[in-house]
């Protein structure tokens, strides 16, 4: 690092003032700031915590040992089913325009959360049923899980469609 030594004064005595050359320091800081600004990730990333549950194709039968009523959500390309196991009640929420009817879905989940079955429970299972002709995107399933967490079902389980405790018969 360089330092500029002051010039001699008229009296012949050397000045004690030293001027530090900070230009290289500024250069380094400018480059570093520019690099960090360009490469920084400005998107806020969060997470939705899920537990894989239900059966998969390895199993032949849905587990029936659960005595609780389970709230099951099946996301299809053109509708969402909300069902209760054991009671076998299903509500169909058809698509509204290009998108799923998330408002009605949220209202439905709120109603279930307020019911006697789920007032003190927070578990729910979600599945997405996709085919080549009618694909369901990851965004739709994430949206369904996000709404469930928002309503109060914070223990979200993701399962295979065949593994849902309550599955509509079509």
Partner 1 sequence: MPVTPAGPRLYHSIRFKQLVKHTGSSASSRASNVSMNLVPFVDMMTILVTFLLMVFAAEGQLLQAQKGLELPIAESRDTLQQAPVIIVTKTEITYQGQLVATTDSVLKDDSPTFKIDALYERLDAAAKKIKEDVGLGKMPKELAKACEDAKQNIRPQPGKICPDGLAILQADEATDVRLINKIVNTAKAAGFDNLLFAVKNK
Told to check if 24 binds partner 1 by CB under 8 A, we report no
Query: By C-beta, is 49 or 169 nearer to partner 1?
Result: 49
Among 25-33, 79-87, 91-99, 103-111, the segment contacting partner 1 (CB under 8 A): 25-33
Find out whether 31 and 12 touch, Cβ atoms under 8 Å. no
Helices 138-151 and 102-114: angle between axes, nearest 10 degrees: 40
d(CA 81, CA 60): 23
Distances (CA, A) of 36 to 2, 29, 31: 27, 10, 9
Binding test (CB under 8 A) with partner 1, winner from 105, 118, 140, 153 = 140
Told to check if 136 binds partner 1 by CB under 8 A, we report yes
Binding test (CB under 8 A) with partner 1, winner from 1, 3, 16, 36 = 36
All residues at 6 or more sequence positions from 113 whose CB lies less than 8 Å from its CB, including other chains: 119, 151, 152, 153
Enumerate binding residues for partner 1 (CB under 8 A).
Answer: 22, 25-26, 29-30, 32-33, 36-37, 40-41, 43-52, 56-58, 75, 127-130, 135-143, 145-146, 149-150, 158, 160-161
């Amino acid at each position: 690092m360089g330092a500029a030594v002051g010039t001699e004064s008229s009296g012949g005595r050397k000045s004690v003032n030293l001027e530090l050359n900070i230009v290289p320091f500024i250069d380094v800081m400018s480059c570093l700031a520019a690099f960090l600004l360009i490469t920084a990730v400005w998107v806020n990333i969060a997470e939705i915590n899920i537990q894989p549950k239900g059966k998969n194709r390895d199993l032949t039968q849905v587990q029936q040992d659960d005595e609780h009523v389970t709230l099951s959500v099946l996301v299809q390309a053109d509708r969402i089913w909300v069902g209760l196991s054991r009671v076998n009640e299903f509500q169909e929420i058809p698509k509204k325009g290009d998108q799923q009817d998330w408002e009605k879905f949220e209202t439905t989940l709120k109603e279930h959360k307020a019911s006697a079955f789920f007032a003190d429970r927070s578990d729910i299972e979600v599945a997405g049923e996709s085919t080549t002709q009618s694909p369901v995107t990851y965004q739709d399933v994430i949206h369904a899980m996000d709404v469930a967490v928002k309503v109060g079902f914070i223990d979200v389980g993701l399962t295979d469609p065949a593994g849902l405790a309550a599955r509509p018969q079509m």
